[in-house]
Amino acid sequence: MHIIRVHEFGDASKLIEEDLPLPEPRPGEVRVKVHAIGMNFADIYQRRGWYPAPPPFAPGTEFAGTVDKLGEGVSQFKIGDRVATASGAQAYAEYALAPVMRTAALAEHVSFEQAAALLEQGLTAHYLAVSTYSLKTGDTALVHAAAGGVGQLLVQIAKLRGARVIATVSTDEKARIARGLGADEVILYSRDDFEAETRRLTDGKGVDVVYDGVGKDTFEKSLNCLRPRGMLALFGFSSGPVAPFDPAVLGAKGSLFLTRPGLNQYIATREELVQRTSDLFAWLALGALRPRIDRVLPLAEAATAHRELEARHTAGKILLVP
């Protein structure tokens, strides 16, 4: 099978296409014939060595396809079932392995492309808005990178839960996208100081929660945008890791809460995974949730896809197709 692997950490040129035998599922796993792969910033973190794994490895955890082979003890699926996972292994391949406990059956109305565009970022947006800080009517949320993959879904779910959404984006075109998804206010951080604008838009009170997947470039000002006892949910580092800081800062700025949530802890059981994916698929069927696919590229062009995502030339999801 064709697979894209990393033999040493570095830039996108380190993504190398190879031919390898098909992987064999272990107990509790299924092998999936991959139809669509969802690209995420975590794939870039893997390639750079920020999520260290011993090379060689194939990046990626998110894909959708059909069950091709069952591991020992698997009874939840049968060969030919349509499935998707955000917790698979070595996704940049024609065939990949998925743990049954972290794999969802696809509803009939959900295509492979929709599943690969929705699952990881949709699950992330779901746990952020529903569980990490459970948004409700009257809350105000600041969503960074609101035209990105997670950002777009987070704006939509926040509005479904009745919150006011202040979105930050980098361009006028991305501002149009964020407004079209329901954002109440949009700040162009490339032109305006998002901290000052957020304070102005909240009459100096600050927001209840900041959802920040950017990291280094936004962290300090994100804290300054919070109301007393507000929460910063730092769920990613697209601009780089945040520097170490003194936790006493949280007290000085108003008894703030800081959390670094991760998807695995929010789908810790199969029941929780099914509950979250059921919500996502139901909203998709109703048209209340619209994942945006920016482009679809052949698996062989994985390096190009990484460069485009790193340069922030995308507004939505990049899919790779074997």
What domains are there in the chain, each with its CATH number?
Answer: 2-119+269-321 (3.90.180.10), 137-260 (3.40.50.720)
Residue 280 in tokens: 């996502």
How far CA 248 is from CA of 53, 136, 245, 265, 266, in Å, comes to 33, 29, 9, 26, 28
Per DSSP, the residues of 36-83 read EEE--HHHHHHHHTSS--PSSB-----EEEEEEEEPTT--S--TT-EE
Task: Give the Cα separation of 110 and 114 in Å (integer).
Answer: 6
Task: Give the Cα separation of 91 and 86 in Å (integer).
Answer: 10
Q: What is the pLDDT of residue 47?
A: 96
95: CB partners within 8 A, 6+ apart: 1, 22, 23, 31, 32, 33, 34, 68
pLDDT tens, position by position, 245-285 = 999 999 999 999 999 999 999 999 999 999 999 999 999 99
pLDDT tens, position by position, 12-65 = 999 999 999 999 999 999 999 999 999 998 899 899 998 878 999 999 999 999
Model's pTM, two decimal places? 0.88
Work out the percent of the chain whose per-residue pLDDT is above 90: 90
pLDDT tens, position by position, 133-168 = 999 999 999 999 999 889 999 999 999 999 999 999
Angle at Cα 298 formed by Cα 297 and Cα 303, nearest 5°?
80
**Counting Cβ atoms within 10 Å, is residue 179 exposed (0-12), middle (13-18) or buried (19+)?**
middle
Instruction: For residue 272, count other CB atoms closer than 10 A to its CB.
Output: 15
41-48 and 302-310 are packed helices; what angle lies between their axes, rounded to 10 degrees?
A: 100
Paired residues of 82 in beta bridges: 66
203: CB partners within 8 A, 6+ apart: none
